[in-house]
Structure 1
Amino acid sequence: LSGRELKPIPVEDVTAYENLQKVDMKIEDPLCQRYACMQVENITRNVSPVDMRIRLYYCGMRGINFLADLTNYLMLEMGQPMHAFDSRKVGKIRIKRFDTPFKFQTLDGVERNIDENMLMICNDNTPVAIAGIMGGLDSEIVEDTTTLTLESATFDAASIRKSTVRLGHRTDASMRYEKSLDPEMCDTAIARFLYLLRKYDGGVKVVSALTDEYAFHYDKVELKFDKAFVDRYTGIEIGNDTILKTLRSLGFGAEYDGEYFDVTAPSWRATKDVSMNADIIEEITRIYGYDNFEVHTTRSPLYPVKMDVVKNDEDKIKDILVKRYNLHELHSYVWAYYDELKSLGIEVEPNIKLANATNPNIETIRNSMIPTQLCQVNTNVGYAPDFGIFEVGRVVTGMDENNLCVEKKMLAITLYSKTKDIKDLYFELRDILAVTADDLKHRKLEFKKAEPSHGYEHPVNLNTIVLDGKEIGTIGIVHPVIGKKIDKKANIVFAEVDMQAFADVKNASIVYEEPSKYPPMDYDISVIVPAGVMFGDMSKAWTDEGRGILKNTRIVDTYDTDEFHSVTIRFEFSSNERTLSSAEVQEIMDNVISNLKKIDVNLR
């Protein structure tokens, strides 16, 4: 890059020891990509040179002993972690996993749980190190160590990452292995180690050949692109010679045949860093210099995007809840928080769990948003005597046939009040849902009796929300035990709606009707409603009656005693053609009353 060739790093010529006996080493698991080792004797130095210890200190590492410091120094210098075993304790190296879990004491003196997925370095069948993470206490370099077995290896990056999470222990070595190291560096790192070892301890003796097993080779990354591709991505003119010089100076093999560039990524960039043509553009432009780019507006076509139905309904619902009903929008995570729910007496229901969770409080994914909102209400009971919250969030209800999470977007609303009785609060929430459905879908909601399926739901006061014949959610009262733990003097109601089910309901056509010039007629009846009978059940009594003149029905009053539940229903009659007579209205009402009696709904 600077126009001057880099000096090669001084290394030992390991080919000089090819006539020596090799170390007894074998890879027995595909998670080990490459493993190289050598044995050295007659090591007399115990303390690292001062300049080496100073450099390690400046890099945030403490000096331990000469051999341990040398491996750390090489890791910082070349990016290749290494490990030195005491050869008296390691003679027959095997890299493998075990079928059954066991305990293993690492260099830091901690006893760790090893499972069947963790790769181990073994002395035959005896574990001596956790591959890529930390060595074992029994095989560490000590003051009287004069012989060592030097390890330089690469392992599967994902395996190392998973093992560190399961152990809850990350090291300088594991952080590098997690990033997919270049296997080609293994033998070079050993040659560099031997060079420095001889430099500071001239009497050492190499007693084995370089023993190297290369089990996994990364695919060669070869890319092809033309000059127009570079110009289109960069937006500026970069010469062909500049492109070739830049890539070659970075270690890439680059050729140009007059039309296309053929580029081969070097091994240290091919593990996962460079994989497509856009990566080459990044290499060219960062060396060319972003400050050298001309600033101008990029031209690109803009196409209109149709708003998703679910997203469109979601935005409209939020506007209604905030602007019309003054509810507060909250945002939460998808976890079922064990500690918070336990304090309210809500059990965390069995559901999908996060593998290798480090915090059991956020291990399970929620299957309902209402417990989350009850925790939020509990936190904000001092905010105001009356308030309402809502959120459009995600829940998971299980696994599908492909073992993927069944994820749903839900609308959750919770109302809290110290000043309103439970009946008024419940009907307020019902009205919020009804107005929302009417504004967005131009349809009326219906409600059906539902059986509780969650511990936070009231055993009696729970209903299914029905829109256009489809069940879209539930509305109910919080279980009394849970409600008292939140606030003994307050009432709490909730509703949860499936946003996809709501969006799937088609909008009903808006029908405009000319107001009648003839006087309307209202007819009120008060009936005793037995338990379990809903307004939707009663509405069937007049659906087929008074066609053309029965315009509307609505509840205008309710009355409750210990003995019965009474409802006053108003029937609104009108005609665009004539003035209605009392006789014809009475005839219709007689039929309605007769039909109501069939479901045990009688006049009071």
Structure 2
Amino acid sequence: MKISLNWIKDYVNLDGIDIKELWYRFTMSTAEVEDVEFVGQDIQNVVVGKVISVVPHPESKKLKITQVDSGDGILQVVCGAPNVTEGILVPLAKIGGSVKKLPKLGKVKLVGVESYGMLCSAQELGISDDHSGLLILEGDYAPGTDIKSIIDIDDVIIEIDNKSLTNRPDLWGHYGIAREIAAIYGRELKPMQLDSLAGSEGKDKVDINVEDTEKCLRYSSIKIDGATNLQTSMNMKVRLFYCGMRPISPLVDLTNYLMLELGQPMHAFDSRQVESGIVVRSTKEPTLFKTLDGTERNLPEDVLLICNKERPVAIAGIMGGENSEVLEDTTSILLESATFDGPSIRKGSTKIGLRTEASARYEKCLDPNITVTAIQRFVKLLKDMNPNINFASALSDVYCQKLEPIDITITKPYIDRYIGNDLPQEKMVEILRSLEFKVDVEGDTFKIKVPTFRATKDITMKVDIIEEITRIYGYDNIVPQTLDIALKPLEYNEDRLLDHKIKELLSERFGASEVMSYIWYDNTYNAKMGIETNGQVKILNPQAQDANTLRESMVPCMLGFAEKNEKVYEEFSIFEIGSVFTAANPKEKCEQHKNVCILLGSKIKSEDELFYDLKGIMTYLAKTLKNITPEFTACTSAFNWVHPMKSVDISYNGKLMGYISVVHPSIKKNIGKKINVAVLEINRELLQAIDYASIKYKDLSKFPEVKLDYSFLVDNGVTFDKLVEDIRGFKSELLNSFEFVTIYTGKGLPEGKKSMTFRFVIGSNEKTLTSDEINGFAKSIIDYMAGLGYTLR
């Protein structure tokens, strides 16, 4: 949000205050200031010039030669603006002066004619984006008058982070910001000039019917006639432009000006379109409606509308309708100043896909007690434009849900205990009253009445009062004190510890990189890749229509990462621990749990090698984390990225935990023609629930062990589990253990065969093995395996 310092000065005297220090203190006490921009300082030596004569340029169809009274002489200026005519007053940049994007002006020749200055548009003064013609000055100004004495070009524009104002609807206007600054510096806040609405009493009221009293908290309106001969002042236009809004027309400019000043959105209807009165209701069915921007929108059910007795004329709190906008011939308006329920405006704005300056403020839960104040301020500014306007109705005010000030009682010792410092009682009361809190003091007890503009969602309890006092007093003015609290042992979160251990093992032991993905499917990407999903948990108001389903598997997201990495790396391994969501159908209760997903991609290793790498990773994780050995059985997963042959389920004690699979060829080809991809996905909560198996110890042999590696040729149809089971059938007193080492499926193997390497550890507790005993064991295991059809490679 952009704030004009000139605007702030209307309500607070800032004399003697360093501007940069001011916004530092504002950041430290109230909200984050992101940027401070000094505007207008590049506009120099620009004065009021009166065009005395205009003649065509002899060598150019577009240019004209003008004689301009600069106040200290007549200057010849060549100008190409289409609206230059005799007698007008315009900004004149003299020799040596500067305008926007032109640092210093000098005498120039334009198509052979000398020009001694420049006649300026509003864009060249930096006060508008309008470059269609010269800025014609309305008023009786003497030539040579400094342009900055009649237009507030010099200003300081402050950009405040919107997120830091989310809980402060009172700060979404200049008057609220001025109130904060006045409190910070202990200065007076000047009252806002309002109209009493005298002359409206006794007239008929506009017929207002609020049907949806849950979404419309208050609706105030008044009808005004004689809205003719209006003109937005130049300084009002400049303030609107500096704060990011484009001047449109006097009545629209006034509503925007009030919104930026008071934080209260307003709307002016052409009275001819709402003669029958106003009805505030919600849509019962989808409705087509064309908004002010000319877009026809399909409004879903339960969106709040402003209607006349026949049809909608505005989407409440978001945007008016094209059928009720103020036109050039509009002389009578119905002025709306209302308060709508913040969450309902947010939901409606999201459903429609339309967010405006008005909806951004309504979402913050505005104070309904300022609607009439906004009307009084609007009328005051309107009368400044035309004192002859008159009221065509009395004030209509339908207050559906009255907001009362909040009462909070707190004691000084309670405040001191929280702050850790003994602040003077008088200072506490001064701070609270400067923020417009009403405070009654009884001894060391404060009975505080919170103003309604702070009571919608901000100040609700004692600690909020303490925060108000400390932030205005200054956090850096509070002397730090050591807390006197009891120390308690840290309670470990077992889930987080397991997550951390898994991440540590995967990154340090296996060199995998952690990735982070969204918890919903990207339906467009999945369709492109041929990935089929059956998620039953839908998002009612998704930010994008292609992201409306919460994921039941993490693999599609991981495949998206694989496609990106395939373009850069020959090999990569990535993992994520994240949430997945399941439900039997869209109407059933949703269940959420965490999964661990690991993906290996390689242009070097075969699919089988990646598959067995993942089996090794899973075995290592299970052994390290729970001291168990998982079971691998035929895969039962129905996901279409699971390979029909090269996949297994992961179980323990009969409970299915997840699966390992090479990615199905139909999907793999969409990731990359040369890449092989395998995935592992397990339920992290089921892994967490497994009890750690006790460790059985045995005495270490005093004698050395011998490790023998043998590679056996195995038919491709033989599973890993079958091979391990066969090896376990071999009995020998010398065999202490065996483990899988690697698999090879490349060149040099007989057709239909794969090479699988196992390491056998042999030894004796009684002696060192002799060469004959080692050779005897080797012959025995080789003969045993050959008898089962596994020949030594």
Instruction: Give the aligned residue type for 1:157.
Output: G
Instruction: Measure, in 1, the Cα distance between the counterparts of 2:290 and 2:241.
Output: 27
Name 2:219's counterpart in structure 1. Answer: 35
Name 2:523's counterpart in structure 1. Answer: 338
Pair 1:527–1:488, CA change in 2 (3 A): closer
Residues 122, 128 of structure 1: 8 Å contact kept? yes
Secondary structure, aligned partner of 1:228: helix
Q: Deviations over 1:545-589 (max 9, x none)?
A: 98999865666999998789999999999997999xx9xxxxxx9
Residues 448, 534 of structure 1: 8 Å contact kept? no
Pair 1:287–1:452, CA change in 2 (3 A): closer
- Give me the CA root mean square deviation: 3.8
Question: Is 1:308 matched up with 2:499?
Answer: no
Q: CA deviation at 1:457?
A: 0.6
Residues 230, 385 of structure 2: 8 Å contact kept? no
Name 1:8's counterpart in structure 2. Answer: 191
Instruction: Measure, in 1, the Cα distance between the counterparts of 2:707 and 2:236.
Output: 98
Residues 255, 261 of structure 1: 8 Å contact kept? yes
Pair 1:213–1:536, CA change in 2 (3 A): farther
Q: Write out aligned runs for 1:323-362 (5 A).
A: 323-362=508-547
Instruction: Measure, in 2, the Cα distance between the counterparts of 1:189 and 1:556.
Output: 79
Residues 715, 752 of structure 2: 8 Å contact kept? no
Question: Is 1:428 matched up with 2:613?
Answer: yes
Name 2:204's counterpart in structure 1. Answer: 21
Bigger drift between 56-65 and 395-404 goes to 395-404
Pair 1:54–1:327, CA change in 2 (3 A): closer
Residues 535, 551 of structure 2: 8 Å contact kept? no
Name 1:456's counterpart in structure 2. Answer: 641
Q: CA deviation at 1:123?
A: 0.8
Instruction: Give the aligned residue type for 1:274.
Output: I
- Aligned with 2:383 (options 198, 204, 208): 198
Pair 1:65–1:492, CA change in 2 (3 A): closer
Instruction: Measure, in 2, the Cα distance between the counterparts of 1:320 and 1:570.
Output: 23
- Aligned with 1:83 (options 248, 267, 273): 267
Q: CA deviation at 1:339?
A: 3.7
Identity %: 38
Q: CA deviation at 1:72?
A: 1.9
Q: Write out aligned runs for 1:156-167 (5 A).
A: 156-167=341-352
Q: Deviations over 1:126-149 (max 9, x none)?
A: 111111111111211112212111
Q: Write out aligned runs for 1:254-333 (5 A).
A: 254-333=439-518
Bigger drift between 81-90 and 549-558 goes to 549-558
Instruction: Measure, in 2, the Cα distance between the counterparts of 1:195 and 1:556.
Output: 87
Name 2:566's counterpart in structure 1. Answer: 381
Residues 707, 761 of structure 2: 8 Å contact kept? yes
Instruction: Measure, in 1, the Cα distance between the counterparts of 2:570 and 2:260.
Output: 61
Instruction: Give the aligned residue type for 1:535.
Output: D
- Aligned with 1:67 (options 251, 254, 272): 251
Please report the TM-score for the alignment, with normalisation by the length of structure 2: 0.66
Residues 224, 392 of structure 2: 8 Å contact kept? yes
**Structure 1: any 5+ residue segments left out of the alignment?**
583-588
Secondary structure, aligned partner of 2:272: coil
Instruction: Measure, in 1, the Cα distance between the counterparts of 2:238 and 2:671.
Output: 59
Residues 205, 395 of structure 2: 8 Å contact kept? yes
Instruction: Measure, in 1, the Cα distance between the counterparts of 2:677 and 2:240.
Output: 61
Residues 310, 499 of structure 1: 8 Å contact kept? no
Question: Is 1:475 matched up with 2:660?
Answer: yes
Q: CA deviation at 1:603?
A: 9.4
Instruction: Give the aligned residue type for 2:488.
Output: Y
Secondary structure, aligned partner of 2:511: coil
Residues 538, 586 of structure 2: 8 Å contact kept? no
- Aligned with 1:53 (options 226, 237, 240): 237
Bigger drift between 202-211 and 386-395 goes to 386-395
Residues 611, 646 of structure 2: 8 Å contact kept? no
Secondary structure, aligned partner of 2:368: coil
Residues 400, 406 of structure 1: 8 Å contact kept? no
Instruction: Measure, in 1, the Cα distance between the counterparts of 2:758 and 2:356.
Output: 74
Instruction: Measure, in 2, the Cα distance between the counterparts of 1:78 and 1:530.
Output: 77
Name 1:586's counterpart in structure 2. Answer: none
Q: CA deviation at 1:80?
A: 1.3
Secondary structure, aligned partner of 1:46: coil
Instruction: Measure, in 2, the Cα distance between the counterparts of 1:264 and 1:293.
Output: 26
Instruction: Give the aligned residue type for 1:72.
Output: N
Instruction: Measure, in 2, the Cα distance between the counterparts of 1:461 and 1:439.
Output: 26
Instruction: Measure, in 1, the Cα distance between the counterparts of 2:473 and 2:762.
Output: 82
Pair 1:489–1:566, CA change in 2 (3 A): closer
Instruction: Give the aligned residue type for 1:89.
Output: Q
Q: Deviations over 1:487-517 (max 9, x none)?
A: 3333322211211111111111111112468
Q: Write out aligned runs for 1:563-574 (5 A).
A: none
Q: CA deviation at 1:215?
A: 0.2
Q: How many residue pairs get matched?
A: 589
Question: Is 1:175 matched up with 2:386?
Answer: no
Instruction: Measure, in 2, the Cα distance between the counterparts of 1:33 and 1:381.
Output: 56
Instruction: Give the aligned residue type for 1:215.
Output: C
Secondary structure, aligned partner of 2:268: strand
Pair 1:495–1:145, CA change in 2 (3 A): same
Residues 459, 465 of structure 2: 8 Å contact kept? yes
Bigger drift between 22-31 and 166-175 goes to 166-175
Name 2:104's counterpart in structure 1. Answer: none
Q: Deviations over 1:36-77 (max 9, x none)?
A: 111122232232233433333333323322222222222222
Instruction: Measure, in 1, the Cα distance between the counterparts of 2:620 and 2:602.
Output: 21
Secondary structure, aligned partner of 1:282: helix
Residues 120, 129 of structure 1: 8 Å contact kept? yes
Bigger drift between 112-121 and 531-540 goes to 531-540
Question: Is 1:149 matched up with 2:328?
Answer: no
Q: Deviations over 1:365-389 (max 9, x none)?
A: 2221222222222211244433322
Pair 1:90–1:514, CA change in 2 (3 A): same
Q: CA deviation at 1:211?
A: 0.9
Name 2:136's counterpart in structure 1. Answer: none
Instruction: Measure, in 1, the Cα distance between the counterparts of 2:270 and 2:757.
Output: 92
Residues 536, 586 of structure 2: 8 Å contact kept? no
Secondary structure, aligned partner of 1:434: helix
Secondary structure, aligned partner of 1:465: strand
Pair 1:528–1:185, CA change in 2 (3 A): closer
Q: Deviations over 1:333-390 (max 9, x none)?
A: 2232234333432234334233332323433322212222222222112444333222
**Structure 2: any 5+ residue segments left out of the alignment?**
1-182, 774-779
Bigger drift between 289-298 and 76-85 goes to 289-298
Residues 41, 148 of structure 1: 8 Å contact kept? yes
Bigger drift between 435-444 and 337-346 goes to 337-346
Name 1:495's counterpart in structure 2. Answer: 680
Instruction: Give the aligned residue type for 1:79.
Output: G
Residues 619, 629 of structure 2: 8 Å contact kept? yes
Instruction: Measure, in 1, the Cα distance between the counterparts of 2:335 and 2:449.
Output: 32
Instruction: Measure, in 2, the Cα distance between the counterparts of 1:335 and 1:489.
Output: 29
Residues 701, 765 of structure 2: 8 Å contact kept? yes
Instruction: Measure, in 2, the Cα distance between the counterparts of 1:567 and 1:414.
Output: 22
Instruction: Measure, in 2, the Cα distance between the counterparts of 1:246 and 1:569.
Output: 78
Q: CA deviation at 1:228?
A: 2.5
